């Protein structure tokens, strides 16, 4: 609360140059039609993050080192926004904010599978059934053959048998089947 009220950092010349250089580089590299659009919103975010970084240390001046750290975070964030669940680059994910993160896609798919499990009293899904559910929901996955396995590691799906997966919260008991 103290920092928010009393510390109002200003950009130093060095910090401004670091931010400007990075922003201009992004604008040049991402100016084609098939890349992530870079807008002034990213520039404003860079400035706010730099100010927050300095405020964290109760400093009134944003240093070039603060700006460099924020640039590294932004690079990682931008790279993460365009990588798919197999660490391949998929620029279509980030076009005009229409992409869906791996986590959001996994949660949506598991929710759909749970709904389907409740409706059909079937708690095991084949890869083909998972693929069909994902396609019906409009989830785009670059390489679907590895997708269920990638959901197995963070615990969204658990592999029961060869190519059979129950969603993690499927709760149809054997007494409900009678």
Per-residue confidence (pLDDT) for residue 79, from 0 to 100: 62
Q: Which residue, among 170, 132, 172, has the nearest Cα to 148 in the 3D structure?
A: 132
Q: Which residue, among 47, 83, 86, has the nearest Cα to 67 in the 3D structure?
A: 47
At 81, is the pLDDT very low, low, confident or very high (cuts 50, 70, 90)?
Answer: low
What pairing do the DSSP bridges indicate for beta strands 61-62 and 10-11?
Answer: parallel
Round the average pLDDT of the chain to a whole number and report it: 75
Per-residue confidence (pLDDT) for residue 56, from 0 to 100: 92
Alpha carbons 128 and 53: distance in angstroms, whole number:
47
Alpha carbons 85 and 159: distance in angstroms, whole number:
18
Prediction pTM value: 0.48
| H or E element that contains 82 | none
Average pLDDT over residues 9-32: 88
Which of 17-26, 108-117, 168-177 comes out lowest in average pLDDT? Answer: 168-177
Q: How far apart are the first and last CA of the chain?
A: 59
Question: Are the C-beta atoms of residues 93 and 81 closer than 8 Å to each other?
Answer: yes
| H or E element that contains 131 | helix 127-136
**Segment 117-129, tens digit of pLDDT:** 888 887 777 778 8
């Amino acid at each position: 609360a103290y920092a928010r009220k009393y510390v109002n950092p200003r950009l130093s010349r060095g910090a401004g140059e670091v931010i400007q250089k990075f922003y201009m580089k992004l604008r040049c590299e991402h100016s084609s039609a098939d890349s992530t659009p870079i807008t002034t919103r990213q520039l404003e975010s860079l400035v706010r993050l730099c100010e927050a970084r300095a405020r964290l240390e109760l400093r009134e001046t944003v240093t070039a080192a603060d700006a460099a750290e924020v640039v590294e975070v932004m690079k990682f964030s931008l790279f993460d926004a365009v990588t798919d669940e197999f660490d391949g680059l998929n620029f279509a994910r980030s076009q005009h904010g229409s992409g869906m993160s791996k986590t959001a896609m996994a949660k949506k798919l598991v929710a759909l599978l749970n709904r389907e499990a409740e409706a059909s009293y079937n708690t095991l899904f084949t890869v083909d059934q998972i693929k069909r559910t994902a396609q019906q929901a409009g989830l785009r996955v670059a390489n679907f053959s590895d997708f269920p396995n990638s959901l197995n590691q963070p615990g969204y799906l658990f592999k029961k048998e060869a190519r059979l997966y129950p969603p993690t919260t499927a709760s149809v008991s054997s007494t409900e089947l009678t």
